[in-house]
Amino acid sequence: MTKKSVLIGATLSAASFCIGITLAQEPVRNIDHNKHPNLAEAQLLCSQANTYIIAAQKDNRYDMHGHAQKARDLLVQVNQELKISAQDADSVDASQKKK
C-alpha cells in the first residue's frame, strides 16, 4: 500500500465513523418533569416526532432525499437546547436562592 492509499483509507474511515455517530443520535429525555414540566413535555414530543420520522423513512424505503434525516438531526439539536434551557433555569433559581 502506498502512503496515499493509506491516507485516503484513513480519511474515509474517519468520515464514515463521524457520519455513523451523527446518524445514531436520538433525542433523549433527561429533563426533570417535576422541575420543568413544559420542557420535559417538549422533550417527550421530540422523541415521539423522531419515532414517527423513523416510521416514515421505513415506509418510504429511506427515499426522502435526506430531508427526514435532517429533520431527525434537528430534533436532536432541539433536544439539546431544551436541556440547556432547563440547566439555565436551574442556575437562575440557584443564584436567586443565594440572595
User: What is the residue extent of each domain of the chain?
Assistant: 3-98
pLDDT higher than threshold 70 for residue 5: no
- Write down the mean pLDDT value for the chain: 84
Amino acid identity of residue 74, one-letter, is: L
- Taking only the tens place, the pLDDT of each residue in 27-71 is 888 999 999 999 999 999 999 999 999 999 999 988 889 999 999
Q: Output the CA torsion 68→73→79→82 (10° steps).
A: -110
Q: Regarding predicted confidence, which is higher, 53 or 21? A: 53
pLDDT of residue 65: 92
- pTM for the structure as a whole: 0.67
CB–CB of 27/77 below 8 Å?
no
